[in-house]
Amino acid sequence: MLTERIRYSQDLIQCWYESWGGKVYVSFSGGLDSTALLHLVRAMYPDVPGVFVNTGLEYPEIVQFVNTVDNVIHLRPKMSFSKVIQEYGWPVVSKEQAQFLHELRLTKSAKLRDIRLNGNKWGRGKVSKKWKFLIQAPFKISHKCCEVLKKRPVKLFEKKSGLAPMLGNTTEESSLRRLTANRWQCNAYECRRPTSKPLTHWTHKNVTDYISQNNIPYSSIYDMGYDRTGCMFCLFGADQNNPNKIQMVSKTHPKQHDFIINKLGAKEVMDFVGIPYEIED
């Protein structure tokens, strides 16, 4: 039941807060999960700040909503998205496959190249058969976007402030996040980057029920047909949904859609990968 999950989360939050002498913060993306977590934390400790990384890729409705929330620290990356794709490459297909493709095309190691082409002794770590044609793509591909635009500003902030993060990961995140959550459980004190994840035992329905029951304001983006947000221009997973994220952006945010497709050059990328980017009437 949600009541039991809330109590367990409160215990985790209290332990984390007391362990760090109150020097903690909530990673606040403006999405539903982090909105619920911020409310839950501040019901116990009202002065805990939120930290929002404005990468320049957020939906306008997310930024507008975050601006209405008190005591939120805004961070910005040093590099723009356009610079990231020029220097490193486009985030396409998935973070894992983008990393394999990026490394395969750049590595000078014969061993790593062989693994990325044929897999390790367990058959893992290779570019999947489905996406091997991307090895010859006429554009750069990379997994570096999130590292540059989100993780670097956060790492610098944590180093300067000494605050320990609480993250709003739930059980219905990507497979990579699920593995991370299972490995480190909820409060991870001994990791290279100590983190608390008080909602790892919550489902998406738990989050929406909590928000509804407590009349918590949330971003209007979720009333526009989106159930997940993230970065507007990220192409990870864009081949899996119908309509996909970029197709939805063509309807809800035509100016931003024109920018990514025609000015940034996503048209070439999506045409090559075979992903539609407009919704046909």
CB count, 10 Å around CB of 130?
Answer: 10
pLDDT, tens digit (0-9, with 9 covering 90-100), for 126-135: 999 999 999 9
Q: What percent of the chain has pLDDT over 70?
A: 95
Residue 173's pLDDT band (cuts 50, 70, 90): very low
pLDDT at 185: 61
Q: Rounded to whole angstroms, how far apart are CA atoms 173 and 193?
A: 20
Q: What six digits make up the tokens of 256? A: 């931003």
Amino acid symbol at 237: G
Res. 145: pLDDT tops 70: yes
pLDDT, tens digit (0-9, with 9 covering 90-100), for 27-86: 999 999 999 999 999 999 999 999 999 999 999 999 999 999 999 999 999 999 999 999
User: How many helices (H) does the chain have, and how many strands (E)?
Assistant: 13, 8
In the chain, the domains with their CATH numbers are 2-79+145-223 (3.40.50.620), 92-141 (no CATH), 232-273 (no CATH)
Res. 196: pLDDT tops 70: yes
Q: Calculate helix-pair angle for 110-118, 95-106, nearest 10 degrees.
A: 140
Average pLDDT, the chain: 93
pLDDT at 227: 85
Res. 142: pLDDT tops 60: yes
CB count, 10 Å around CB of 74?
Answer: 14
**Containing H/E element for 133?**
none
pLDDT at 141: 97
Residue 56 to residues 27, 134, 153, 226: CA-CA distances in angstroms?
A: 17, 27, 13, 19
User: Measured in whole angstroms, how far is the alpha carbon of residue 178 from the centre of its chain?
Assistant: 13
Q: Rounded to whole angstroms, how far apart are CA atoms 38 and 71?
A: 11
Res. 174: pLDDT tops 60: no
Amino acid symbol at 269: V
pLDDT at 180: 45
Q: Rounded to whole angstroms, how far apart are CA atoms 24 and 16?
A: 8
Torsional sign, CA 272, 275, 278, 279? positive
Res. 144: pLDDT tops 80: yes
Res. 16: pLDDT tops 90: yes
pLDDT at 175: 42
Give 236's strand partners.
93
Mean pLDDT in residue range 222-227 = 92
pLDDT at 281: 64
Phi (first) and psi of residue 211, to 5 degrees: -65, -40
Model's pTM, two decimal places? 0.90
Best-predicted range by mean pLDDT among 171-175, 212-216, 241-245? 212-216
